[in-house]
Structure 1
Amino acid sequence: MPEARAGTSIFQHLTQYSDLLRYNSNVRWLWFSHVLSLFGDWFNFIASTQLVAQLAPSPLALSILVGIRTVSPVFGAPLVPYVVRRMRRRTLLIGADVIRFFSVLALLLIRSPEDLWILYTMIGLQGFLAGMFMPVRMAILPKIVTNEHELGTANTLSSLSWTAMIALGMSLGGVVTAKAGINVSFVVDALTFLGSAGLITLMHYERNTGPDQPRGTGTPATDERVTYPDLFRFLRVNLDFLFVGSMKTVVTVFSFVPTQVLQVMLSYRYEHIGPSAIVVGIIFGIGGLASFFAPLVTRVFTGNDHMKLRHAVTMSFLLTGLGMWLQAPIPPFPVLLFGVALRNVGAVLIWTFSSQILLSRVPAAMRDHVLSAEFLLLNLAGILGVVLPALTSGNPDRGMPIAFFALGMCFAVGAGGWALWLIRGRYSLPEVERE
Structure 2
Amino acid sequence: MIGDGHRDINMELQQDVVKLQREVGFLELLKNNPTFRRLWMGLAISMMGEWFSTVALFVLIYTLTESELGIGLLFVIRMFSMAFPQIFTGMLADRFSRKRIMIWSNLLSAVAVLCLLIVDDESEVWLIYAISALLMALHAVFIPAESASIPNVTKENELLTANALNSATWSAALCLGASIGGFVVSAYGVEMAFIINAICFLIGGLMYSTITIPQEPFQPKPGGFWANTGGNIVEGFQIILSKPHVSRIVTAKALWAVFGGGLVYMLVLIGDEIAMGDLAAGIGILFAARGLGTGLGPIFARYVFKNRNLWPFLLGSLVSICGIAYVVIGFIEWSPWIAVIVVLGHASSAINWVLSTVLLQERSDDEWRGRLFSTDFLLMTTFNGLSTLAASLMLEYTEITLREGIQLFAFLQVLSGIVWVVLMLPKERRFMKNQESIGSNP
* Interval of TM-score (by shorter of Structure 1 and Structure 2): 0.7 to 0.9
In structure 1, what residue type is equivalent to 2:351? L
Question: 257, 260, 266: which one pairs with 1:262?
Answer: 266
Q: Partners in 2 of 1:27 and 1:362 — Cα distance?
A: 20
Distance change >3 Å, CA 294–CA 142, structure 1 → 2: closer
Q: 5 Å matches for 1:8-27?
A: 16-27=25-36
Count of residues paired in the alignment: 410
Residues 212-361 of structure 1 mapped to structure 2, 5 A cutoff: 213=217, 227=235, 230-231=238-239, 234=242, 238=244, 241-255=246-260, 257-272=261-276, 275-306=278-309, 308-329=310-331, 331-361=333-363
Query: What is residue 4 of structure 2 aligned with on the other side?
Result: none
For the aligned residues, what is the CA RMSD? 3.5
Mapped partners of 2:88, 2:176: distance in 1: 32
In the TM superposition, what whole-angstrom CA distance separates every residue of 1:271-314 from its partner, at most 9, and x where no partner exists?
34x722122111111121122122322454431331x2233334
Alignment correspondent of 1:429: 432
* Amino acid of the structure 2 residue aligned with 1:265: L
| 1:61-82 Cα distance to aligned partner (Å, 9 max, x none) | 1111111211112343344466
Distance 2:329 2:343 in 1: 11
User: 8 Å contact 2:81–2:134 — kept in the other structure?
Assistant: yes
1:94 and 1:266 mapped to 2: Cα distance? 37
Partners of 2:96 and 2:353 lie apart in 1 by: 32
Contact 1:294 1:349 in 2 (8 A): yes
How far did residue 198 of structure 1 move? 1.9
1:122 Cα deviation after fit = 0.8
Q: How does 1:69-108 map to 2 (within 5 A)?
A: 69-80=78-89, 83=92, 88-108=97-117
Q: CA deviation at 1:387?
A: 2.1
Match of residue 195, structure 1, among 180, 199, 203: 203
Residue type at the aligned position of 1:38: M
Q: Which moved more, 1:152-161 or 1:42-51?
A: 152-161
The runs of 5 or more residues in structure 1 that have no matched partner are 2-8
Residues 381, 419 of structure 1: alpha-carbon distance in 2 compared, 3 angstrom cutoff: closer
Distance 2:250 2:90 in 1: 22
Higher alpha-carbon deviation: 62-71 or 356-365: 356-365
2:401 maps to which of 387, 399, 402? 399
- Partner SS, residue 333 of structure 2: coil
Higher relative contact order (CA 8 A, sep 6+): 2
SS in 2 for 1:246: helix
**Which one-letter code corresponds to 1:322 in the other structure?**
I
Q: What are the superposed Cα offsets for residues 239-286 of structure 1, whole Å, 9 maximum, x if unpaired? A: x6544322211212311x2233212211221234x7221221111111
Q: Which residue among 170, 184, 199 is the counterpart of 2:192?
A: 184
| 186 and 152 in structure 1: CA distance in 2 versus 1, 3 angstrom threshold | same
Deviation per residue, 1:93-133 (Å, 9 max, x gap):
22222211111111111111111111111111111111111
Determine if contact 2:93/2:370 at 8 Å carries over to the other structure: no
1:158 counterpart residue number: 166
Unmatched runs of 5 consecutive residues or more in structure 2: 1-10, 12-18, 220-226
Contact kept in structure 1, 2:305 and 2:311, CA below 8 Å: yes
